[in-house]
Amino acid sequence: MRILPVGEHALLVELPTGDDALALHAELLRRQAAGTLEPVADIVPAARTVLLDGVGDPAGLAARLPTWPVPPPEADAGESVEIPVRYDGPDLADVAAHWGVAPGEVARIHAGAAFRVAFCGFAPGFGYLTGLAGRYAVPRRASSRTRVPTGSVALAGPYTGVYPRSSPGGWQLIGTTDAVLWDPGRTPAALLAPGTRVRFTDMDMDTDTDTAPSPRERAS
């Protein structure tokens, strides 16, 4: 763990891996909920870091933080969400070629993985989800699309993301969902907040459409 000062009121905690960042983020939220974390305006996890912004005593927190025991994330901790997907994206064949599998296999592999939202960025409610094995990482597209439709399920690097609204984008599109990723009138506004566990389900494999899972279920 390396703690870097950021301006006068923030700390950037750098960790060896993304999983370590997830674990520290979960520990920070636990301490915040328990009232044992000093006031912090923003806790922003990212690929291998957690940013603490709006900290009253950055030097004090930087001294205490390395002494905390941080348990690894529990597999079944946190909110759980299922996202039904039609695996019909325009880059499905390219992704299958990168993976060295038949196009029909992409859905099975993707819907078989257990994901977690590592962090948000790019747009409100755009989550960067980890969970695919390292061998399934794919490059961004050589050229960006000027318009990626709302609900596009996409891959880039080790991450899966779902576009909360139409925007330009360079990720590989493998499918679409009708799930509402972002609704400012809802609490929480983001379906995919950091730490949320996510399963994608293949709608074409869903034989009993009347009992499609609700988009948000509490973890038992």
- Partners of 6 in the beta sheet? 10
Alpha carbon of residue 34 to chain centroid = 24
Question: By the 8 A CB rule, do 88 and 178 touch?
Answer: no
Helix (H), strand (E) at residue 201: strand 197-202
- Regarding 178 and contact with another protein (CB under 8 A), the answer is no
Contact call for residue 66 and another protein (CB under 8 A): no
User: Does residue 56 bind another protein (CB under 8 A)?
Assistant: no
Stretch binding another protein (CB under 8 A), from 47-55, 72-80, 136-144, 146-154: 47-55
> Tokens 């779902």 correspond to what residue?
162
Among 78, 84, 125, 131, binds another protein (CB under 8 A): 125
Is there binding between residue 53 and another protein (CB under 8 A)?
A: yes
Give DSSP secondary structure letters for 96-143.
Answer: HHHHTS-HHHHHHHHHTS-EEEEEE-SSTT-EEEE-S-GGG-BPPPSS
Stretch of 108-116, 136-144, 182-190, 207-215 lying at the interface with another protein (CB under 8 A): 182-190
Residue 12 binds to another protein (criterion: CB under 8 A) = yes
* Stretch of 30-38, 41-49, 100-108, 137-145 contacting another protein, by CB under 8 A: 41-49
Q: Which is nearer to another protein, 129 or 190 (CB)?
A: 190
Checking DSSP bridges between strand 167-169 and strand 40-45, what pairing results, if any? unpaired
Residues in the chain: 220
Could you list the residues that contact another protein (CB under 8 A)?
Answer: 4-10, 12, 41-51, 53-54, 119-126, 128, 184, 188-190, 193-194
